[in-house]
Amino acid sequence: MIKRVVLFLVTNLAVIFVLNITMRLLGIDTLLAESGGGLNLNALLVFAAVIGFGGAFISLAMSKWSAKMMTGAKVIDSPRSEAEQWLVQTEHRQARQAGIGNPEVAIYNAPEVNAFATGMNKNNALVAVSTGLLNSMSRDEAEAVLGHEVTHVANGDMVTLALIQGVVNTFVIFLSRIIGNIVDKTVFKTERGHGPAFWITSIIAELVLGILASIIVMWFSRRREFRADVGGAALAGREKMIAALQRLKQAHTPSQLPDQIKAFGISGGQGWGIKRLFMSHPPLDERIEALRAQR
């Protein structure tokens, strides 16, 4: 049910890289150097925020287009079958219940049982389901999946994710430059300007801090899955939502979504220890138990 996180994360990293290079080519990075070769922290923070939030929101703006391109999802403009008619009517009914505009409804060809929602505006979003889901799930189960995705849209999860990603991007860029400057000045004794050690250390620090920052983003992603399950239960019924999650567990098919979108799919994986910190979805057993525990 979520096809959003890896698409967003990878696109975001690519955009940050392009913006970073662009800022350097334009000479904006020279604002960060004082005459003594130190860092102007105010200018650095502005620089980091422009790149960090710029990358996050450009990725968000591209999310619908990217998802369609990467999955081959076809929007249902005019239903050609009873199944497509049911899909559109169900999704539009749930959108009205959730108080949002009707998202585009699409189908993408894949054997996996999965679905996703994306878009930067809750009144102009996209909800797509796989052919595998349509072929494997009952109408009640598919209705719950749609409710889960509509809830993601109604909750504004993509915008919130963009804000969180923008904040962590900003601090990663900001702290990596500070670390690079410290190493350059104290270890390699560069007196004026920045030596090669500054750029090499900054790049390494950015990679390491980026990995740590992704733990924060993944934690939020797991929290929103629980909330979307609750929303799906409210729109379609708790037993239907539980049945849908159980069907996903039974299907147990590896996600065929592109790596850039895998975290936006409804299904998820299993993980323990350190691996769990980088999971975009909680284990299905935990999601089922959370719904059963509701009163």
Q: Which residues are catalytic?
A: 149
Sign of CA dihedral 199, 204, 207, 213: negative
The dihedrals phi and psi of 280, each to the nearest 5 degrees, come to -80, -20
The size of the chain, in residues, is 295
Residue 79 DSSP class: -
Give the Cβ contact number of residue 227 at 10 Å: 14
Write the CA distances from 273 to 23, 94, 255, integer angstroms: 39, 37, 21
- The 3-state DSSP class for residue 20 equals helix
Residue 265 DSSP class: S
Write the CA distances from 95 to 124, 148, 224, 228, 236, integer angstroms: 11, 11, 18, 14, 12
CB 44, CB 29: distance < 8 Å? no
CB 117, CB 61: distance < 8 Å? no
To which residue do tokens 């979307």 refer? 228
